């Protein structure tokens, strides 16, 4: 009986976490460059139940032979193992803002371990000097003329240095070369991730690597074909209608587990308060 409580509770916790993930996807449906998370559900290890007994043979000495009978496997619950971002190209939206830049994937090398294409990301730097990666190209200029993200991270060039401009009247070519009004020149830094699933997700659409060495320069990767589009923003790849359907499914699963839990609770109440009562 108590095993049933644990099994149902694990299902409710898993569906609650999945609902939280889907809600986060829905709330970022209009966030530029956002990559929707997808969950992976896994069962806890199954237990193989066997019944052990003894077979008595009526002889003078009374022989006993041990025997066992396989009852079957028992699943002990489920859990949400992890949430993995879905690195699919989002649609590009025309904004005509000079500080808006988008990455458009054309052809990426396939990772031999996963069989999936790699991804490219803008290279940015936080106030502590740590390098991060993002697909959100909604940039701006700070008070000192540095090209930054909306959250204040510095956009780096392909040499790992910050980009400083005299004004927001600059141009960006398809191969990432930036030319300022007063002859400033730089190339927007872009990193290449052969296996995007190894990136660690942070807030504000940022990613970091597990290792300290960071991602290699995407411009130097053979077979990596992409373009940098000025005046455009990559939209979120969240499928709103599919996300709503998944949220309803997760809610119904949570509700079904809740009803089973209530049935277990009523059964325990009868066992504790009614069965065996002396009239």
| Per-residue pLDDT reduced to its tens digit, 27-40 | 999 999 999 999 88
Q: Measure the CA–CA gap between 175 and 179, rounded to whole angstroms.
A: 12
* Beta bridge partners of residue 177, listed in sequence order: 187
Domain range annotation of the chain: 2-83+239-273, 92-234
Could you give the angle at the alpha carbon of 268 between the alpha carbons of 263 and 274, nearest 5°?
Answer: 115
Spell out, as residue ranges, where the chain has pLDDT lower than 70. Answer: 1-2, 45, 47-55, 57-65, 67, 71-75, 276-279
Q: What is the pLDDT of residue 157?
A: 96
Rg (CA), the chain: 29
Q: Measure the CA–CA gap between 241 and 32, rounded to whole angstroms.
A: 18
Q: What is the pLDDT of residue 69?
A: 72
Q: What is the pLDDT of residue 74?
A: 66
Q: What is the pLDDT of residue 112?
A: 87
CA distances from 224 to 2, 121, 156, 212 (A): 55, 12, 20, 23
Closest CA to 140 of 154, 123, 126, 128: 154
Kindly give the pairing relationship between strand 63-74 and strand 78-85.
unpaired
| Per-residue pLDDT reduced to its tens digit, 53-81 | 666 766 666 666 676 777 666 667 787 88
Q: What is the pLDDT of residue 45?
A: 67
């Amino acid at each position: 009986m108590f095993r049933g409580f644990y099994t149902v509770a694990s299902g409710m916790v898993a569906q609650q976490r999945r609902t939280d993930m889907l809600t986060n996807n829905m709330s970022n449906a209009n966030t530029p460059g956002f990559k929707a998370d997808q969950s992976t559900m896994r069962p806890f290890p199954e237990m193989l139940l066997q019944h052990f007994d003894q077979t008595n043979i009526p002889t003078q000495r009374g022989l006993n032979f041990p025997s066992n009978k396989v009852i079957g496997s028992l699943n002990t619950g489920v859990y949400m193992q992890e949430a993995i971002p879905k690195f699919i190209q989002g649609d590009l939206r025309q904004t005509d803002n000079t500080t808006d830049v988008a990455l458009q994937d054309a052809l990426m090398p396939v990772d031999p371990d996963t069989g999936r294409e790699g991804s490219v990301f803008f290279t940015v730097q936080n106030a502590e000097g740590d390098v991060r990666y993002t697909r959100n190209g909604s940039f701006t200029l700070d008070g000192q003329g540095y090209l930054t993200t909306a959250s204040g991270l510095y956009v780096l060039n392909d040499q790992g240095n910050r980009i400083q401009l005299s004004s927001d009247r600059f141009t960006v070519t398809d191969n990432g070369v930036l030319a300022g009004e007063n002859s400033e020149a730089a190339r927007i830094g872009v990193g290449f991730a052969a296996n995007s699933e190894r990136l660690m997700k942070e807030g504000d659409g940022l990613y970091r690597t597990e290792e300290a060495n960071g991602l290699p320069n995407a411009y130097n990767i053979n077979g990596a074909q992409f373009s940098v589009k000025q005046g455009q923003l990559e939209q979120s790849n969240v499928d709103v209608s599919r996300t709503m359907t998944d949220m309803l499914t997760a809610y119904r699963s949570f509700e079904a587990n809740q009803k089973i839990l209530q049935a277990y609770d009523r059964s325990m109440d009868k066992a504790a308060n009614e069965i065996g009562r002396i009239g």
